[in-house]
Amino acid sequence: MSYRVFNVLFICTANSARSIMAETILNQLGAGRYRAYSAGSQPAGQVNPYAVELLQRNRFHTDGLRSKHWDEFARPGAPAMDFVLTVCDNAAGEVCPVWPGQPLSAHWGVPDPAAVQGSEEDRQRAFSEAFITLNRRITIFLSLPFDKLDRLSLQSELRRIGTEKG
């Protein structure tokens, strides 16, 4: 039996931590069934080193990760997205490009670990909490019975997942 591969775009303003972690988690846990991407409206230009270190410590592949602008996914020839998920509050309120193919979208807001000030331990804890929340939501997403849900039910489930905590 062959499965359709779903394309998922995670959006966050800077595309340096949360959206990068979500892209990485989904690509590894959903390998073969999902292809995840990430982008931002104002990309930082580099991936946050705390995010890279956390992903590597949890045995996720980090090769090829980069901070990129969402225009890459709105231009002709870009992969058509099935899902567009915002993971930060700023991106949820921004005017996004028109995504070809009318992908389902939802807001999965996660507090910005890169904005945390304080000790090294405080910063690492913030990144861990974001990672745990994203990992949980993506695990729930992966368990959805896509073949049994109509578009409206799937949209409702995506929104519900966005309320799940770590």
How buried is residue 109: exposed, middle or buried, by Cβ count under 10 Å (0-12/13-18/19+)? Answer: middle
CA within 13 Å, CB half, 58? 18
| Residue in 26, 24, 7 with CA at minimum distance from that of residue 15 | 24
Tokens of 57: 């410590």
Residue in the structure block whose two tokens are 């303003």: 13
Q: Give the pairing of strands 83-86 and 104-107.
A: parallel
For residues 107 and 110, give the distance between their C-alpha atoms in angstroms, rounded to a whole number. 9
For residues 26 and 134, give the distance between their C-alpha atoms in angstroms, rounded to a whole number. 9
For residues 85 and 87, give the distance between their C-alpha atoms in angstroms, rounded to a whole number. 6
| Residues noted as catalytic | 12, 88, 96
The SS3 assignment for 59 reads: coil
